[in-house]
Amino acid sequence: AQTVTQSQPEMSVQEAETVTLSCTYDTSESDYYLFWYKQPPSRQMILVIRQEAYKQQNATENRFSVNFQKAAKSFSLKISDSQLGDAAMYFCAYRSALTGGGADGLTFGKGTHLIIQP
């Protein structure tokens, strides 16, 4: 079974600065997908960014980018120019690509609470 670990329960950053959230995972598979989801106080889960394991290039979505290190099984999220609206819980998630045709769900880490200081 796969596991996802987020070692930082809480992070704090000044508005307009850069912050990096860490995520490591454990798997014996070579094909999989990784995601970062944001959960604001409204509790809705919002996709931030995704990465295919077979792609060497790190994914980028505007101010959000990842540092994907497949050999180290690391998938960190960098948020540049932090904004007050970025304050939320951030969850790292894993999904296998080899499910024998079944649509297995996501395996989530426990989350990192990101605080933005004005």
Partner 1 sequence: DGGITQSPKYLFRKEGQNVTLSCEQNLNHDAMYWYRQDPGQGLRLIYYSQIVNDFQKGDIAEGYSVSREKKESFPLTVTSAQKNPTAFYLCASSIDQLGLYTWSNQPQHFGDGTRLSIL
Q: Note whether 37 and 91 are within 8 A (CB).
A: yes
Which stretches of the chain bind partner 1, using CB under 8 A?
4, 6, 9, 32-33, 35, 42-47, 50, 52, 91, 93, 95-97, 99, 101-111
Q: Which is nearer to partner 1, 42 or 118 (CB)?
A: 42
Q: Which is nearer to partner 1, 38 or 86 (CB)?
A: 38
Distance between CA atoms of residues 78 and 81, nearest Å:
10
Chain centroid offset of residue 38 CA: 9
Q: Which is nearer to partner 1, 14 or 44 (CB)?
A: 44
Of residues 10, 112, 36, 27, the one with CA closest to residue 72: 27
Q: How far is the CB of 82 from partner 1 (least distance, A)?
A: 23
